[in-house]
Chain A
């Protein structure tokens, strides 16, 4: 689960509660992080490519809702939400994106390579499809030691266009690996609509069931549905069989970078407007009955900004040292 304990403390909330309020806090927390990155990115603060998850938060939160700390997650280039939802450390993530040695990979990886074993977030692998083979090995190791841990591989819909996807499915089915593949279908690969990449006749369900693997799907905009579908899927996997779940979702911003991409014309303004109607945060905000409701967003936003400032101050000192020591 997302580490929102500091926010809970500020609100005097029981951090273990799994109320609608908590669901909203997790979603909002991740949203605020991504929006802050988007804002600061334009100021040239983060000097690495970023793939933001604005709009896709519910899948990350809902899947990890069913995971324990010892379960393992592997992700892709778009991994901020997955990392935070698995309990990742926001300061270490900001520091990583800023190129600081205090980052979760010491600044070696940047946004596209988030590794943090301490929270079971094994790696993010930004070559599409490439995380899946690795996930099969992680899962085989869990099976060999007889654990009930689940290995979750988050992938985008374009991974179904790679050979690695099918090689891994066969391997997972053959060896009955405790692997849960979570497909986030946002309908796009970079700036291309799926319709130019994938035959309209292709059906993920029959492809995956063809390997003898259980396939489930759901609406990725609806956190409760993601939680329920993933609960069923993780049950299957904890009993020793692989499963695949597919969630429809959307990304509000461009493929890589901090901006809206309305001007590019590959998706209509109507389409983007319809996404805004689907925003996964709205229903949970409406359900909140807490007296804190009015200041909730500000409080989360302030907390995120505070963590950013800590990381920024850290990297500022490093930069000063770098300037002192740099000899061309």
Chain B
């Protein structure tokens, strides 16, 4: 069957609510007509308002409520329509949820899942487009996962709900309209393993969430020029699947890491640390990192277009950094042929929905 990412999230919620009576789902917009970008529509009618419900605009209290429910044996899924809102509940997440299992001497399990939707484009700007996965990955006791496709979304969400640890589920808004054909599984949901999506021998392109789609495009363009790229989808940010990363990097000896969040002090630093500590002298080039610059995300489509790394800039930097020696003009022509830009303004995806979102 073909499913959009939105459908796959809704299906994962539906199946998990169906399979396990202790699963609950709540957050701003969960019960309303919009249903969190369509991902929760109909679930309240199906499972009742005591298990699936909208909340007061009190994210801090509701996050703590999720913890209280988890201590008592429930498996709450909380939704934050923008990950930026999660900072209002950061006290509960960082001081309480992440530490409760530890503080209780492992007496309590804390199966809380928090879906955090990362916005991008159409003027989301400084406080509606942050990707907080590095912040939460820094905290012992939290797991952080980020799907990059509908099947990933389905499997990681179901696995997150099964996990006895709290899981931050990073959900990029631009993935919602992506479509994939897959058959949903009913068991064994792996949430710790990275996946090699494209095999290659020259450069490892490691990324997460929406960045994986960009890396797949890069690999296709570069393959036209005889450069063979391997695309690795992290899936699990915390813990990092070191063995898959090391295996790929020791094969290609060249690594690009593409983050959807800020480049500095983030996951790219961690990936670089892990790979350098094992492969330092065996890499041919320093690890190249792409991510957002060290400034808040602007609202203006003109400013935002320079804020995000786009494919042409990525191709030029890769060509230069790894001494590939391809012609910059031909790289750009090839990109335009394979993945035509709908507009020079990079504030909405080239395929699928248009704003506002």
Residues of A within 8 A of B (CB): 104-106, 108-109, 113, 115, 117, 122-123, 125, 127, 130, 132-142, 144, 163-164, 167-168, 170-171, 174
- A133 engages B62 (CB within 8 Å): yes
In the assembled complex, B269 has its CB within 8 A of some CB on chain A: no
Closest chain B CB from A105 CB (angstroms)? 5
Q: Which of B50, B66, B102, B104 contacts A137 (CB 8 A)?
A: B66
- B92 engages A130 (CB within 8 Å): yes
Closest chain A CB from B25 CB (angstroms)? 14
Selected interface stretch from B5-13, B69-77, B320-328? B69-77
- The B62-88 residues at the A interface (CB cut-off 8 A) are 62-74, 76
CB-nearest residue of chain A to B68: A137
- The B39-74 residues at the A interface (CB cut-off 8 A) are 50, 55-56, 58, 60-74
In the assembled complex, B95 has its CB within 8 A of some CB on chain A: yes
Closest chain B CB from A159 CB (angstroms)? 13
- A136 engages B68 (CB within 8 Å): yes
Q: Which of B58, B74, B96, B102 contacts A141 (CB 8 A)?
A: B74
- Chain B CB within 10 A, most for which of A104, A122, A134, A170: A134
How long is the Cα–Cα vector from A308 to B41 in the complex, in angstroms? Answer: 58
How long is the Cα–Cα vector from A100 to B72 in the complex, in angstroms? Answer: 27
Closest chain B CB from A95 CB (angstroms)? 12
How long is the Cα–Cα vector from A174 to B55 in the complex, in angstroms? Answer: 10
Closest 9 CB pairs of A and B: A137-B68, A133-B64, A141-B72, A167-B61, A167-B58, A106-B105, A137-B65, A138-B68, A137-B69
- B68 engages A141 (CB within 8 Å): yes
How long is the Cα–Cα vector from A170 to B60 in the complex, in angstroms? Answer: 12
Q: How large is the interface on B (under 10, 10 to 19, 20 to 34, 35 or more residues)?
A: 20 to 34
Q: Which of A105, A130, A141 contacts B73 (CB 8 A)?
A: A141
In the assembled complex, B137 has its CB within 8 A of some CB on chain A: no
With a cutoff of 8 Å between Cβ atoms, the chain A residues found around residue B67 in the complex are: 133-134, 137
- B60 engages A137 (CB within 8 Å): no
- B91 engages A105 (CB within 8 Å): no
Closest chain A CB from B71 CB (angstroms)? 6
With A105-B103, A113-B103: A127-B91 Cβ-Cβ less than 8 Å: yes
- A130 engages B62 (CB within 8 Å): no
With a cutoff of 8 Å between Cβ atoms, the chain A residues found around residue B61 in the complex are: 132-133, 136, 164, 167-168, 170-171
In the assembled complex, B100 has its CB within 8 A of some CB on chain A: yes
- Chain A CB within 10 A, most for which of B58, B74, B100, B102: B58
Q: Which of A115, A136, A137 contacts B103 (CB 8 A)?
A: A115
Q: Which of B58, B66, B103 contacts A108 (CB 8 A)?
A: B103
With A137-B71, A144-B50, A174-B56: A109-B103 Cβ-Cβ less than 8 Å: yes
With a cutoff of 8 Å between Cβ atoms, the chain B residues found around residue A132 in the complex are: 61, 64
Q: Which of A105, A168, A170 contacts B105 (CB 8 A)?
A: A105
Q: Which of B63, B69, B104 contacts A105 (CB 8 A)?
A: B104
In the assembled complex, B108 has its CB within 8 A of some CB on chain A: yes
Residues of B within 8 A of A (CB): 50, 55-56, 58, 60-74, 76, 91-92, 95-96, 100, 102-105, 107-108
How long is the Cα–Cα vector from A144 to B72 in the complex, in angstroms? Answer: 11
CB-nearest residue of chain B to A173: B56
With a cutoff of 8 Å between Cβ atoms, the chain A residues found around residue B104 in the complex are: 105, 115, 117, 123
CB-nearest residue of chain B to A151: B68
With a cutoff of 8 Å between Cβ atoms, the chain A residues found around residue B92 in the complex are: 130, 133-134
- B107 engages A136 (CB within 8 Å): no
CB-nearest residue of chain A to B106: A106
With a cutoff of 8 Å between Cβ atoms, the chain B residues found around residue A108 in the complex are: 102-103, 105
Given A130-B91, A132-B61, 17 new contacts (CB under 8 A)? A105-B103, A108-B105, A115-B103, A123-B103, A134-B64, A134-B92, A136-B65, A136-B68, A137-B68, A137-B71, A138-B68, A140-B65, A141-B74, A164-B60, A167-B61, A170-B61, A174-B56
Q: Which of B63, B70, B108 contacts A133 (CB 8 A)?
A: B63
- A167 engages B60 (CB within 8 Å): yes
Closest chain A CB from B284 CB (angstroms)? 39
- A170 engages B68 (CB within 8 Å): no
Closest chain A CB from B89 CB (angstroms)? 9
With A132-B61, A133-B61: A125-B68 Cβ-Cβ less than 8 Å: no
With a cutoff of 8 Å between Cβ atoms, the chain A residues found around residue B74 in the complex are: 141, 144
- A167 engages B72 (CB within 8 Å): no
With a cutoff of 8 Å between Cβ atoms, the chain B residues found around residue A174 in the complex are: 56
With a cutoff of 8 Å between Cβ atoms, the chain B residues found around residue A133 in the complex are: 60-65, 67-68, 92
Closest chain B CB from A100 CB (angstroms)? 12
Q: Which of A109, A115, A130, A140 contacts B69 (CB 8 A)?
A: A140
A-B contact pairs, 21 of them (CB 8 A): A105-B104, A122-B71, A123-B71, A123-B100, A130-B91, A133-B61, A133-B64, A136-B68, A137-B71, A138-B68, A138-B69, A140-B65, A141-B68, A141-B72, A141-B73, A144-B50, A164-B60, A164-B64, A168-B58, A168-B61, A171-B62
Closest chain A CB from B73 CB (angstroms)? 7
With a cutoff of 8 Å between Cβ atoms, the chain A residues found around residue B64 in the complex are: 130, 132-137, 164, 168
How long is the Cα–Cα vector from A129 to B257 in the complex, in angstroms? Answer: 41
With a cutoff of 8 Å between Cβ atoms, the chain B residues found around residue A141 in the complex are: 68-69, 71-74
With a cutoff of 8 Å between Cβ atoms, the chain A residues found around residue B60 in the complex are: 133, 163-164, 167
With a cutoff of 8 Å between Cβ atoms, the chain A residues found around residue B96 in the complex are: 125, 127, 130, 134
- Chain B CB within 10 A, most for which of A125, A127, A135: A125
